[in-house]
Structure 1
Amino acid sequence: MLKFAKPTIYISSVLVASYLSADATNAQIRNLENRVSALEQRKTSTGVINPSGRPEVKNGADLFITADLLIWQAHEDGLAYVTKGNSDTLYKSKTEELNFKWDPGCRVGIGWNTPHDGWDTLLTWTYYHTKASSTTTRDEDTLYPLFESPYYNSFLTTDPYSAHGKWRLNLNLIDFELGREFFVSKWLTLRPFIGGRSAWIYQHMNANYNGYEYLPPTTTKGLGIDPITINYRYRDRNAFWGVGVRPGLGSQWGLGNGFSFYGNTAVSLLYGFFQEKQHQYCDFSSGDTVNHIKNNHSTRTSSVIVESQVGLRWETMSTNDRIHFSISAGWENFVFFGQNQFNRFVGATEETQALFFANQGDLTIQGYTLSLRLDF
């Protein structure tokens, strides 16, 4: 009996295990089928899989307006204007950069919550103006100008007494977005969007190198004739205009009681053109002016802009849900690739004086943003 009992127990165990395994597999299949069925029912009843997460007001015009206060600071590579060092060597020298300021700007927009699938549209205009400057004197050192043409600098027999650099920026952005905000969980919404951007970026760079002395070969200080003082001037204007696509993604991470974190990012690919106009000349103490360089340079190209935002938001409904209001405070960052197109002439001889290089760096803008939004 015992020798027949062991195989029977073994076969029974295998059958039970197979049954339990099959039952577990069937349960997983039923669970998946139930989830798919529930998802299909939800889609059938609501018309959408991911419900809209945008603010909804009652009996309104489905419009909203936005207003942002911008406190930003800009930086740009390649704007060093002078190097200060020992007259015999650049050992322990220092290259002087501009001092970039914090300045205010603004952004305003108007949007429409469309009746189609929870989509929304938004049109915004951003304006920002800023400047930077710096002044350096020679003291006991030597100043090496960085914006002067080396060819024309070779005719000056001394170094300048002082150097001054000044840069200005005017930025205008017009953006259009078509997006949809939807829930992916109870406290998280995403808003992918597509759209377009038009950008106008105007830059001016001035550099003054003052106090060169030039003594004509037919005169001497011993005769009581003063040397001529020369101030070298560099003036450059760099303008960019472009238009192109701008896709991006916004997110809102709910905390409760109307508070949430938000994070947005976007990339713009613009096609446009740069136009650069440069003028280099000398002012003499005699009142004369001698022009050295007047150069125009235009080129068509593509330009990339990357941007991001992070911050804290609070929002509420009022007037029996007829008005939605939100206020946000955060940090914003832009990178405008290849925006420094100020030409640098580098040739030091008559044969090479027309040699130049451009595309010296990127323009970055970053700072604080205070935003208001009203839906009605």
Structure 2
Amino acid sequence: MSDHDKRISELEKQMFEVGGYTSSGNFGAFFGQDKKNPSDWETAAELLYWQTQAGGTEYAYSVAHLQPSGASFPLTGQVDQISFDWSLGFRIGAGRQHVVQDYDLFFMYTWYKTQAASGHKKELPSGFLGLTGFLDPALTTSSHYHLSYQNIDIEMGKNYYVSSRILVRSHIGLKLSRISQKQNSSYDFNVQTGELVSFSSHLRDYSKFLGIGPRIGVNSRWYITREFSLYNQMGISLLYGYFQVKDFYNADEEKIENSLLTTCTSEIDLTGFSHKFSPYGEMLLGLSWNRAFLQDKFVLTISLNYETLYFWRQIQKIVAEGSLRSTLSRSTFNSSRILFERQAEDIGFRGISLKIEMDF
């Protein structure tokens, strides 16, 4: 073989080390891989500081004129709803590099819990109409909301250097989520108007979701310096899960008419079960610092991130449609029929997280 043929053969060998043929028969370059020790393990712990954004938390309608006999039209006022404060949570994870060829496998568990409360009081002629029951009139309202979120992510991904400073990681996996929500609302109407009128109602809405589905996403890291980098993460999932919804309503009414005490109590207890899809999306932006120790056998990474998680059609409720009390009597409505329907609202989490990763 001539020197010319040897040089061509050597060049072809080098080309196939950095590239290959695609499924369509075209030749293209490989992305550089993030090579590490095949025995590398990775652990992570995060402190979460999130705020919940939930739809359907309205519990009362504040009106300027409310009569003891019921609501009068037209109604003017504003809607009172639950606003969540910031709450703490955590996320932990562990994984290993090069489980299958150059792919890594990672497990993550997230726990977050929050609650919120709101309440108001008025005097006649102003008042409230309850929005979680049958538009019950009230002078005192209160509502408490409890929410818990737990999640497990299992993902397999692969890192590529698309340039000397940009690292991209694509991943696919499984997402398992459990979300529990409970809202308790109370309405009290007590006033002396020739006869003693005492009316109170209480409603408990409960929703529990357990779902599982595929999850795909992509991460990117831009190394500003050797130790500092900007980090981005995006992912989507389609969860198929089980919804359990409960709605309990209780109303107590006392009247003194002609020296006689009349007491009325009414209750509604409904439970619904269904299987539905719930789409999910996430986005994260962060700044990371990392440094290697012990001759690159141990790598410490600290990140400060901002992230957003969003679930569509996640808050499921049973609501009464077509009903309005025209008096305080438990059986008096200005509707010819009462319908109970499912209501679906979205829920999201947003906030910051402090993440510590250790590779060894």
TM-score range, shorter chain: 0.7 to 0.9
In 1, the alpha carbon distance for the partners of 2:175 and 2:41 equals 21
Give runs of aligned pairs for residues 336-375 of structure 1, distance below 5 A.
336-348=311-323, 349=333, 352-359=337-344, 361-375=345-359
Shift of 1:94: 1.1
Query: Structure 1 residue 292 and structure 2 residue 261: aligned?
Result: no
Q: 2:221 aligns with which of 242, 249, 252?
A: 252
Partner of 1:109: 93
Structure with the bigger percentage of strand:
2
- Residues in 2 aligned to 1:82 and 1:369: alpha-carbon distance in whole angstroms: 34
Identical counterparts, % of pairs = 24
Displacement of 1:86 in angstroms is 1.6
Q: How does 1:122-201 map to 2 (within 5 A)?
A: 122-139=106-123, 140-150=125-135, 153=136, 159-201=137-179
Q: Is the 8 A contact 1:175 1:195 kept in 2?
A: yes
The DSSP-based 3-state class of the residue aligned with 1:40 is: helix
Q: Residue 227 of structure 2 contacts residue 290 of structure 2 at CA under 8 Å; is this kept in 1?
A: yes
Structure 1 counterpart of 2:79, from 95, 116, 137: 95
TM-score, L = length of structure 2: 0.82
The equivalent of 1:272 in structure 2 is 241
| CA distance in 1 between partners of 2:12 and 2:142 (Å) | 70
Displacement of 1:138 after TM fit? 1.9
AA at the equivalent of 1:344 = V
Q: What is the aligned partner in structure 1 of residue 203 from structure 2? A: 234
Query: Closer, same or farther in 2 for the Cα pair 1:239/1:214, shift >3 Å?
Result: farther
CA RMSD of superposed structures (Å):
2.6
Q: Is the 8 A contact 1:68 1:370 kept in 2?
A: yes
Corresponding residue pairs, total: 320
Query: Contact 2:45–2:92 (CA<8 Å) still a contact in 1?
Result: yes
Q: Which has the larger radius of gyration?
A: 1
Q: What does residue 59 of structure 2 align with?
A: 81
The answer to which structure has the higher helix fraction is 1
- Structure 2, unmatched stretches of 5+, are 1-9, 21-28, 66-71, 255-260, 324-332
Deviates more, 1:35-44 or 1:166-175: 35-44
2-structure distance, mates of 1:37, 1:114: 25
Preserved contact between residue 214 and residue 237 of structure 2 (Cα < 8 Å): yes
Q: Deviation per CA, 1:247-294, whole angstroms, max 9, x where unpaired? A: 0000001101310101000001111111101100024679x8834210
Q: Deviations over 1:146-182 (max 9, x none)?
A: 11125xx4xxxxx311111111111000000100011
Q: Is the 8 A contact 1:281 1:289 kept in 2?
A: no
Q: 1:99, CA displacement in angstroms? A: 2.1
Which residue, 28, 33, 53 being the options, matches 2:34? 53
Conserved? CA contact 2:84–2:115, under 8 Å: yes
In structure 2, how many angstroms separate the alpha carbons of the residues matched to 1:190 and 1:283?
A: 62
Q: Cα 1:121–1:90, aligned 2, differ >3 Å: closer, same or farther?
A: farther
